[in-house]
Amino acid sequence: MEPSAPITQDVMTFPRKETPSDKINLVGLTRDALRQTLIENGTPEKQAKMRTGQIWQWIYQWGVRDFAEMTNLAKDYRAMLAEKFEVRVPEVVSKQVSEDGTRKYLVRIDGGHEVEVVYIPEEGRGTLCVSSQVGCTLTCSFCHTGTQKLVRNLTAAEIVGQVMMARDDLNEWPERGAPKDETRLLSNIVLMGMGEPLYNFENVRDAMKIVMDAEGIQLGRRRITLSTSGVVPEIHRTAEEIGCLLAVSFHATTDETRDVLVPINKKWNIEKLLDALREYPKATNSERITFEYVMLKDVNDTDEDARRLVKLLDGIPAKVNLIPFNEWPGAPYKRSSNNRIRAFATILMQAGYASPIRTPRGEDIMAACGQLKSATERARKSRRQIEAEAGLQAQ
């Protein structure tokens, strides 16, 4: 089925749906938690495993939200489910579509908070950039999200819900009985949106387990990349408990510079981080760790930086993603020149490291790397400020 027609650049806003009910949302529960919740709410224990499997498939394989449509369940059981439970995903507040097809969604989660999610279509694949926190625990100085204080961690429901919301928008749910269509518009997930995923480990883990489940959304672990700024104690655990690919927000080759760009470096410096990465059990030549390196003019982009980076990566199955800096309002940095970025990449490639230069996507809608922030928050503030200044609010 064709995905819904993109309308370039316009901000499509969507009316607010009814406020969330006090029903239990089944989205985001692990299989065990779902089974337990069904038992606690009236499903006989000896049936619970089978019911769990059936409901799981309806929710995650077929994208069904209405219990009445779960036709392999008895009518009265469906009625009981509808009374106590709901299948709810984050609500789309607005959607912007870039000239290059990139889609940026602003979604509302419980408590009225908003996070941004970005879908990047490419030839033969499509990547969803998923957020894990409202705002961020950290304050990386090149990142727009870093200027937004942490409001809270997203729940597993709100993380997997972003994937489900995007599949809705892309009409990507398979049709029951229709021949299996292997092409996927949403084929990859990167945990590179708002927030530091390893400061929300359990929810990220549970959400990705649901996404990887073979009887649901069925995205393999090698199609999921988790990006961390360097929460060293959780790196090994990522391999053990999630098993996805790993990326590191590296961005500098000296502690002095990285302390400024990625302040978590003051807690776990380059040496400690690289030691943890050398031990990363999942790192192999076919599953290299991605080192993200934002190219900042006259900050971290010299030939010497490139040569130092080569030395630092020694012994780690690695590739480097060079990210031309995407400016945002008030950003204290400038993007390196294309020649400088190419020169930097050449030194890495000559040393044997794949170092693709990332093509900025969705810049025209502030959807590129490091540009995400709940812009609505700031916009609304300024409107409120305007009203306050105009004394409008007093009326």
Residue ranges of the annotated binding site are: 136, 140, 143, 195-196, 227, 249-251, 326
Q: Which of 130, 136, 151, 235 binds ligand SF4 (CB under 6 A)?
A: 136
Residue 225: partners with Cβ closer than 8 Å, 6 or more residues away:
188, 189, 190, 191, 192, 244, 245, 246, 247, 290
Cβ 145 to ligand SF4, closest distance in Å? 4
Please tell me the count of residues contacting ligand SF4 according to CB under 6 A: 12
Question: Does 375 sit near ligand SF4 (CB under 6 A)?
Answer: no
- Helix spans in 95-186 (H): 156-169
Cβ 266 to ligand SF4, closest distance in Å? 13
Nearest in space to 323 (alpha carbons), one of 358, 368, 371? 358
Residue 130: partners with Cβ closer than 8 Å, 6 or more residues away:
117, 159, 162, 163, 189, 190, 191, 192, 193
Output 43 or 127, the one with its CB closest to ligand SF4.
127
Question: Does 145 sit near ligand SF4 (CB under 6 A)?
Answer: yes
Output 58 or 328, the one with its CB closest to ligand SF4.
328
Cβ 302 to ligand SF4, closest distance in Å? 22
Q: Which stretch binds ligand SF4 (CB under 6 A): 65-73, 171-179, 194-202, 236-244?
A: 194-202
Euclidean distance between CA atoms 355 and 187, whole angstroms: 22
The catalytically annotated residue of 114, 116, 158, 234 is 116
Q: Do residues 352 and 323 make contact, with C-beta atoms less than 8 angstroms apart?
A: no
- Bridge partners (DSSP) of residue 120 are 127
Question: Does 203 sit near ligand SF4 (CB under 6 A)?
Answer: no
Question: Does 246 sit near ligand SF4 (CB under 6 A)?
Answer: no
Nearest in space to 331 (alpha carbons), one of 195, 149, 116, 146? 146
Q: Which stretch binds ligand SF4 (CB under 6 A): 141-149, 214-222, 283-291, 357-365?
A: 141-149
Question: Does 265 sit near ligand SF4 (CB under 6 A)?
Answer: no
Catalytic status, residue 369: yes
DSSP string covering 70-98, please? Answer: -TTS-HHHHHHHHHHEE---PEEEEEEE-
Q: Which of 146, 216, 243, 360 binds ligand SF4 (CB under 6 A)?
A: 146
- Bridge partners (DSSP) of residue 153 are 133
Catalytic status, residue 244: no
Nearest in space to 326 (alpha carbons), one of 260, 372, 290? 372
The catalytically annotated residue of 114, 129, 158, 369 is 369
**Coil, strand or helix: which one is 114?**
strand
Other beta carbons within 10 Å of 319 = 15
Question: Does 153 sit near ligand SF4 (CB under 6 A)?
Answer: no
Question: Does 195 sit near ligand SF4 (CB under 6 A)?
Answer: yes
The contact set with ligand SF4 (CB under 6 A) reads: 136, 138-140, 143, 145-146, 194-196, 229, 249
Active site residues: 116, 369
